[in-house]
């Protein structure tokens, strides 16, 4: 069975600092990987996705993520945090079909 | 309306009530999903419909009953719920009959409180 682990349920960074949100997955086959963001009182919005093309994926709002098969990781990064980045971030994985597996989420706080 | 809409946004109900959640997608997608989002837990996939046919039912209690009359509309009928069913219920849709490389588009959710 698939599983997704997001290390750190809460991450705080200073405005302008590097954002690093961690995601590890378990999969017996090359997976499809996604990062979503959820702002208060809203649904999830796709930030980026990996579908077996380039291992470094660029998304919206300056975010990017790198697929590392050897580490079974898909960490999300942004070089410089902005106040508007404060939100809940979810990593998701799928091997195919209609089943998507989500992590428990990481709440990002940006300190002025 | 654009994207995925859900009504109502908030719902408070007693354990003996019957209510329904509605989801509508304006994206021309073929697959629709219901998720339950509880605090400190991963999103739980409840139901999946492809081309109006239910393809997934992840051991959801029968007090939750989905209905998909067409590819644009999805309902979740609720009856005799328990307090632990209180959560944010999210609807999503995707293209391509549910192929997983096609991302899901989410609605804003319905915040359900069961008293």
The maximal CA–CA distance of chain A, rounded, in angstroms, is 42
- Is A44 in contact with B101 (Cβ distance < 8 A)? no
pLDDT at B100 over 60: no
A42 versus A109: which is more confidently predicted?
A: A109
pLDDT at B54 over 60: yes
Q: How close A61 comes to chain B (CA, Å)?
A: 17
pLDDT at B87 over 60: yes
Interface membership of A95 toward B (CB under 8 Å): yes
Backbone angles phi, psi at B50, to 5 degrees: -115, 125
Nearest C-alpha in B relative to A98: B98
Q: Give A23: exposed, middle or buried? Use CB within 10 Å, 0-12, 13-18, 19+.
A: buried
Give the span between the Cα atoms of B63 and B112, in whole angstroms: 14
Q: Where are the beta strands (DSSP E) in chain A?
A: 3-5, 10-14, 19-21, 24-26, 32-38, 44-50, 56-58, 64-68, 73-78, 87-94, 101-102, 106-111
Q: How close B65 comes to chain A (CA, Å)?
A: 19
pLDDT at B97: 53
* Chain B residues within 8 A of A105 when measuring between CB atoms: 42
Query: pLDDT band at B96, cuts 50/70/90?
Result: low
Give the span between the Cα atoms of B94 and B100, in whole angstroms: 9
Question: What are the beta bridge partners of residue A25?
Answer: A4
* Chain A residues within 8 A of B89 when measuring between CB atoms: none
Contacting A with CB below 8 Å, chain B residues are 4, 6, 31, 33, 40-43, 45, 48, 50, 55-56, 90, 92, 98-101, 103-109
Overall average pLDDT of the B52-74 stretch: 88
Overall average pLDDT of the B28-56 stretch: 87
Overall average pLDDT of the A30-52 stretch: 89
Percent of chain B surpassing pLDDT 90: 63
Query: pLDDT band at B101, cuts 50/70/90?
Result: low
Work out how many CB contacts closer than 8 A connect A with B. 59
**In the structure encoding, which two tokens stand for residue A99, read together?**
């089943």
pLDDT at A88 over 80: yes
pLDDT at B57: 74
pLDDT at B93: 92
- Is A99 in contact with B109 (Cβ distance < 8 A)? no
Of B31, B42, B106, the CB nearest to A44: B106
Query: pLDDT band at B12, cuts 50/70/90?
Result: very high
Nearest C-alpha in B relative to A40: B108
Overall average pLDDT of the B39-51 stretch: 86
For all residues of chain A together, what is the average pLDDT?
91
Query: pLDDT band at B39, cuts 50/70/90?
Result: confident
Overall average pLDDT of the B20-42 stretch: 91
Query: pLDDT band at A1, cuts 50/70/90?
Result: low
- Is B98 in contact with A97 (Cβ distance < 8 A)? yes
């Amino acid at each position: 069975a698939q599983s997704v682990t997001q290390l750190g349920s809460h991450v705080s960074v200073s405005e302008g600092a590097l954002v690093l949100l961690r995601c590890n997955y378990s999969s017996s086959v090359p997976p499809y990987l996604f990062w979503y963001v959820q702002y208060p009182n809203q649904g999830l919005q796709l930030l980026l996705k990996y579908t077996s093309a380039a291992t470094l994926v660029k998304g919206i709002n300056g975010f990017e993520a790198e697929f590392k098969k050897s580490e079974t990781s898909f960490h999300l990064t942004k070089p410089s945090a902005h106040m508007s980045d404060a939100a809940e971030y979810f990593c998701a994985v799928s091997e195919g079909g209609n089943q998507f597996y989500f992590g428990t989420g990481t709440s990002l706080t940006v300190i002025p | 309306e654009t994207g995925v809409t859900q009504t109502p946004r908030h719902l408070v109900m007693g354990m003996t009530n019957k209510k329904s959640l509605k989801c509508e997608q304006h994206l021309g997608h073929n697959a629709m999903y219901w998720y339950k989002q509880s605090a400190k837990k991963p999103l739980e996939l409840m139901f999946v419909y492809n081309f109006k046919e239910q393809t997934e039912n992840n051991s959801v209690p029968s007090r939750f009953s989905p209905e998909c009359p067409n590819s644009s509309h999805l309902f979740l009928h609720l009856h005799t719920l328990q307090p632990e069913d209180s959560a944010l219920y999210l609807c999503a849709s995707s293209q391509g009959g549910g192929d997983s490389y096609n991302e899901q588009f989410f609605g804003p959710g319905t915040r359900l409180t069961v008293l």
